[in-house]
Amino acid sequence: MLGPAFATLAGPVQALHAAPLPCRYVGQARIERGRHWLVPLLAALARLPKDGEALPTEVAFSAHGQGEQWARCFGRWPMVSRLWAHEGYLREQLGAVRFEFDLQAREGGIDWSVRRVWAFGLLPLPRRWFGGVRCREAWQGERYTFLVDVTLPWVGALIRYEGWLEPQ
């Protein structure tokens, strides 16, 4: 999806995305959910994990149709999504929510910017609701790192999860 920009990624980021499928990465994550009363409902719709510090984390990557499946497990909480390319963008189905992202290589990592979102695969949601979504893949030393920070205008903080992974 990144084309020639893939060569500008740091080694750990390249390695994760170039690994032959299926493959498995393990590491650790910290997860913090927001406190608004709607957060549990929204988190359930997207099948987001619960709070936790220093959670053992595993991601199993596998081929799925014309794309991939990322089966994440944060402690005992699974979070599975399907990802595929669509007209130059990346789509991800996470529970009842479908995202379309623009991926940009920057400073050795990848920034994910939300372009479009649908509920239940067909109901488009206003893009402005998702201006507070930050997703970044990066590296620290030889480890792949990730950060997902989601703030919604009418809820505030929804979830923030960050951590690191290494190949298993």
- List pLDDT tens digits, range 91-110: 999 999 999 999 999 999 99
Is the pLDDT at 41 greater than 90, yes or no?
yes
For residue 115 the two structure tokens come to 């372009």
In contact, 45 and 94? CB cutoff 8 Å = no
In contact, 71 and 78? CB cutoff 8 Å = yes
Residues 6+ apart with CB under 8 A from 149: 133, 134, 135, 159, 160, 162
pLDDT > 70 in the chain, percent: 100
> Which pLDDT value is given to residue 121?
84
* pTM exceeds 0.85 for this model: yes
In contact, 158 and 42? CB cutoff 8 Å = yes
| φ, ψ (nearest 5 deg) of residue 41 | -65, -50
> Which pLDDT value is given to residue 111?
99
Residues 85 and 1: their CA atoms lie apart, in Å, by 7
What structural domains and CATH numbers belong to the chain? 3-167 (2.40.128)
